[in-house]
């Protein structure tokens, strides 16, 4: 249902069913105390919980969602995300990522599994007085914002990680249906 509805929304907006550009990012989510051993501590953000990896297209529609313990580095967790996208998007040509996905290992994984290029977009060192969004990278942040509107996704209350992943799919399906 998830993949079918995403394709319908893309066609209704005048786009090809298979996107040519994907944008990947992750966020750490706090967990409740009723949880299995699939959680960790994100040392960078000081969050004890799980990490949600998501790949979206240029419309902000999720293409793939995976949930890992928070102590899994982005470059390590990305392999499972890319594996879930294998053979689903024949038109995919490029994936944009932030600095957490740097390295030849991630680049080679994308090339091997998805047959496309990985472009790492880094922040400029130039200081400004105002917020400057990264080109195209803001789209994945907007999708996280959309998912944040679903109460069960603000804090991970689920006992198992795959249940939280299913809740993310349900939230995405609801947003797809709202766009149809």
pLDDT tens-place values along the chain, 180 residues long: 999 999 999 999 999 999 999 999 998 887 776 666 666 666 666 777 788 899 999 999 999 999 888 888 888 889 999 999 999 999 999 999 988 888 899 999 999 999 999 998 877 666 666 656 667 888 998 998 898 888 878 777 778 888 888 999 999 999 999 988
Place of tokens 């105002």: 130
Q: Are 50 and 39 in contact (CB under 8 A)?
A: yes
Cα distances from 37 to residues 30, 43, 95, 167, in angstroms, run: 14, 17, 31, 19
Query: What structural domains and CATH numbers belong to the chain?
Result: 2-122+134-179 (3.30.420.10)
Q: For the whole model, what pTM was predicted?
A: 0.85
């Amino acid at each position: 249902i998830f993949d079918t509805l995403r394709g319908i929304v893309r066609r209704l907006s005048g786009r090809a069913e298979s996107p040519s550009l994907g944008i990947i990012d992750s966020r750490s989510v706090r967990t409740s105390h009723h949880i299995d051993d699939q959680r960790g501590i994100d040392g960078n953000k000081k969050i004890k919980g799980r990490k949600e990896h998501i790949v979206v297209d240029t419309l902000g529609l999720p293409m793939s969602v995976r949930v890992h313990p928070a102590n899994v580095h982005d470059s390590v967790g990305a392999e499972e995300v890319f594996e879930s996208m294998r053979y689903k998007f024949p038109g995919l040509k490029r994936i944009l990522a932030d600095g957490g996905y740097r390295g030849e290992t991630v680049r080679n994984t994308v090339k091997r599994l998805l047959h496309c290029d990985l472009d790492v977009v880094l922040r400029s060192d130039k200081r400004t007085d105002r917020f400057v969004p990264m080109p195209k990278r803001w789209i994945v942040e907007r999708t996280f914002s959309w998912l944040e509107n679903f109460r069960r996704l603000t804090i991970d209350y689920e006992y198992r990680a795959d249940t939280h992943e299913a809740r993310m799919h349900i939230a995405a399906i609801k947003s797809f249906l709202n766009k149809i």
